[in-house]
Amino acid sequence: MSFRKDFLWGAATASFQIEGAWNEDGKSPSIWDVFCEEPGRIEDGSDGKIACDHYHHYKEDVKLMAELGLKAYRFSIAWPRVIPDGCGAVNEKGLEFYSNLVDELLKYNITPFVTLYHWDLPYVLQSKGGWLNPEISDWFEEYTRAVVAKFGDRVKNYITFNEPSVFLGCGHISASHAPGFKYGTRELLLAGHNVHVAHGKAVRAIRELAPDAKVGITLATMPRIPNGDMDAATAYDIYFSCHKPYFIWSDSYWADPIVFGKYPEDLVNECKDIFPKVTDEDMKLISQKIDFIGENIYQGRYEDGYNRPRGTPHTEIGWDTYDRALEWGVKHFTKRFGLPIYITENGISCHDWESLDGKVHDPNRIDFLHRYLRGLKAAAEDGCDVRGYFQWSFMDNFEWAKGYNPRFGMVFCDYNTLKRIPKDSAYWYKEVIETNGENL
431 is catalytic: no
163 is catalytic: yes
Spell out the residues 6+ positions from residue 66 whose beta carbon is closer than 8 angstroms to its own. 108, 109, 110
15, 111, 160, 162: which one binds ligand BGC (CB under 6 A) = 162
Instruction: Write down the number of H helices and E strands in the chain.
Output: 16, 10
Given the residues 19, 104, 187, 345, select the one marked as catalytic: 345
Select the span of 66-74, 160-168, 241-249, 261-269 touching ligand BGC (CB under 6 A).
Answer: 160-168
Q: Check binding of 368 to ligand BGC (CB under 6 A).
A: no
180 vs 30, 31, 32, 221, 338, CA distance in Å? Answer: 13, 9, 10, 22, 36
33, 141, 163, 362: which one binds ligand BGC (CB under 6 A) = 163
Q: Check binding of 345 to ligand BGC (CB under 6 A).
A: yes
Given the residues 19, 141, 163, 295, select the one marked as catalytic: 163
Nearer to ligand BGC, 163 or 187 (CB): 163
CA 291-297-303 angle, to 5 degrees, is: 115
51, 82, 217, 220: which one binds ligand BGC (CB under 6 A) = 220
Select the span of 52-60, 67-75, 161-169, 204-212 touching ligand BGC (CB under 6 A).
Answer: 161-169
One character per residue 270-299, x = contact with ligand BGC (rule: CB under 6 A): --------------------------x---
Please state, in angstroms and rounded to a whole number, the distance separating the CA atoms of residues 430 and 435. 9
The least distance separating ligand BGC from the CB of residue 410, rounded to whole angstroms, comes to: 14
Nearer to ligand BGC, 145 or 301 (CB): 301
Q: Check binding of 115 to ligand BGC (CB under 6 A).
A: no
Q: Is 162 annotated as a binding residue?
A: yes
The least distance separating ligand BGC from the CB of residue 344, rounded to whole angstroms, comes to: 8
* Contact of 66 with 4, CB cutoff 8 Å: no
DSSP 292-326: EEEEE-S--BBTTBT-PPTT--B-TTSPBP-TTHH
Alpha helices in 136-223 (DSSP H): 136-151, 164-172, 185-209
Please state, in angstroms and rounded to a whole number, the distance separating the CA atoms of residues 255 and 259. 6
SS3 content of the chain, % helix, strand, coil (to 5): 40, 15, 45
Q: Check binding of 401 to ligand BGC (CB under 6 A).
A: no
* Residues at the interface with ligand BGC (CB under 6 A): 14, 17, 162-163, 166, 220, 296, 345, 392, 399, 408
Active site residues: 163, 345
Binding annotation: 17, 118, 162, 298, 392, 399-400
